[in-house]
Amino acid sequence: MYGRWILFAFANLVMLALGYVLAPILPLFAIGRETLPVWLSWFQTPDNPLDGDSGWKTVHWQWRFRLPRPIACYVGRVGWLWRNPSYGFDVNVLGFEAAAGTEIDRHGPSPLSGDLVTGWYFAKAVTPDGCRAWQLYAVKVWGRRASRINLGWKLWSVPGRCQFAMTVNPFLSTQ
């Protein structure tokens, strides 16, 4: 379980680098459509179009009104791909399939409230056929800043497909 994650971490790093490098080129394959072609789906979020989710469009993309529409669309899509590099790869290739009946052993309070609170959460999942996955999520808040790590697989929504996680955010805002 941990050895598999380490191997996947190397694959994830390669795809992350590739995703960042290709982000300025990828939107050119989606002219006239909201998604990348299937053969490039590893670089896109499977649950949102290239234009991003509602939060991206309303909070993080306000400057788009100052640019001509085609340029704003292109720049917004590059930003979305940089924000979510190789997301489809993390879900569809490196992801963990938590089938119905998967048992989850959780320790620590669930961090899903949305508020950043100092603490940790650890979970292990075992499917009915014996496949295993884990998740470590930890936050340290200091004043108006925080650090967060999320390693393993995102075991928030079981059963279902759990995204591979290897995220370290050393400087988050708590505002």
What is 38-98 written as a DSSP string?
GGGGGGS-TTS-TT--HHHHHTTTGGGGGS-HHHHHHHHHHHHHHHSTTHHHHHHTS-EEE
User: For position 172, what pLDDT does the model report?
Assistant: 86
Which of the four pLDDT bands, split at 50, 70 and 90, describes residue 116?
Answer: confident
Confidence of residue 64 (pLDDT cuts 50, 70, 90): low
Structure tokens at 122: 């650890």
Mean pLDDT within 46-75: 84
In the prediction, which pLDDT does 60 show?
Answer: 74
CA dihedral 96, 117, 142, 80 (to 10 degrees): 50
Residue showing tokens 């496949």 = 131
The neighbour count for residue 50, using CB atoms within 10 Å, is: 22
Residue 154 above 90 pLDDT?
A: yes
118-140 average pLDDT score: 95
Look at residue 130 and tell me whether its pLDDT is greater than 90.
Answer: yes
pTM over 0.85: yes
CB of 50 closer than 8 Å to CB of 27:
yes
| 164/150 Cα distance (integer angstroms) | 10
Task: Specify the higher pLDDT residue, 135 or 1.
Answer: 135
Statement: residue 72 has pLDDT above 90? no
pLDDT (mean) for 148-154? 96
Percentage of the chain modeled with pLDDT above 70: 98
- The pLDDT tens digits of the residues spanning 23-45 come to 999 999 998 899 999 999 999 99
pLDDT at residue number 62: 66
Contact 24, 171 (CB under 8 A): no
Q: What is the mean pLDDT of the chain?
A: 92
